Amino acid sequence: MSEEHYTGACLCGEVKYSLRAQSEEIRGITACHCEQCRRWSGHHWASIHGPKSEFEITKGEASVKWYRSSDKARRGFCRNCGSALFWHGEGYSDLVDQMDISAGSLDNPKGLTLSRHIFCKFKGAYYEIKDGVPVFETFPKD
């Protein structure tokens, strides 16, 4: 078990963040194909997951705009450049202690690989998933 330290930022650099987590808490990169993630990111949304208690916005907290995307979740983005950065499932008992962070915003995603595709029954009709990574029709019960 090793501790990992990830940092990242939005496109304009106004928002920066930090996440510390044990390597097994991260579980690799998840590609979410739900309609909300596709509309939010322009394709599937690739993210890492870590403990909310170890997540910190280190610069530009006032520049993070939170959008309530459902009665159980909110999405954070930079109000200056629009970068899609965070997803928090605050209304889900099994996800409330987790923060999801855009993999594309990481400064150095060392050692991370795509580990699963979720909500694939909602994926766009314009692409196929052929990478051999596990595919789930909805959200897997780990």
What structural domains and CATH numbers belong to the chain? 3-29+45-114 (2.170.150.70)
Q: What is the per-residue pLDDT across 76-104, written as a single tens digit (0 to 9) for each?
A: 999 999 999 999 999 998 889 999 999 99
Q: How far is CA 110 from CA 4, 25, 99, 123, in A?
A: 9, 15, 19, 27
The pTM for the full model equals: 0.91
User: What confidence score (pLDDT) does residue 84 get?
Assistant: 98
pLDDT band at 1 (very low <50, low <70, confident <90, very high): low
User: What confidence score (pLDDT) does residue 110 get?
Assistant: 79
CB 45 within 8 A of CB 85: no
CA-wise closest residue to 46 among 109, 97, 92, 138: 109
Tell me the backbone φ, ψ of residue 47, rounded to 5 degrees.
Answer: -145, 160
Q: Cα(68)–Cα(12) distance, rounded to whole angstroms? A: 23
pLDDT band at 55 (very low <50, low <70, confident <90, very high): very high
Average pLDDT over every residue of 13-35 = 90
Average pLDDT over every residue of 114-128 = 96
Tell me the backbone φ, ψ of residue 54, rounded to 5 degrees.
Answer: -105, 10
Lowest mean pLDDT among 1-5, 64-68, 82-86, 90-94: 1-5
Q: Cα(101)–Cα(18) distance, rounded to whole angstroms? A: 10
User: What confidence score (pLDDT) does residue 27 get?
Assistant: 73
Q: Is residue 24 pLDDT above 80, yes or no?
A: no
| Residue where the block lists tokens 């979720």 | 118
Q: Is residue 133 pLDDT above 70, yes or no?
A: yes
Residue type, 134: P
Q: Cα(55)–Cα(100) distance, rounded to whole angstroms? A: 10
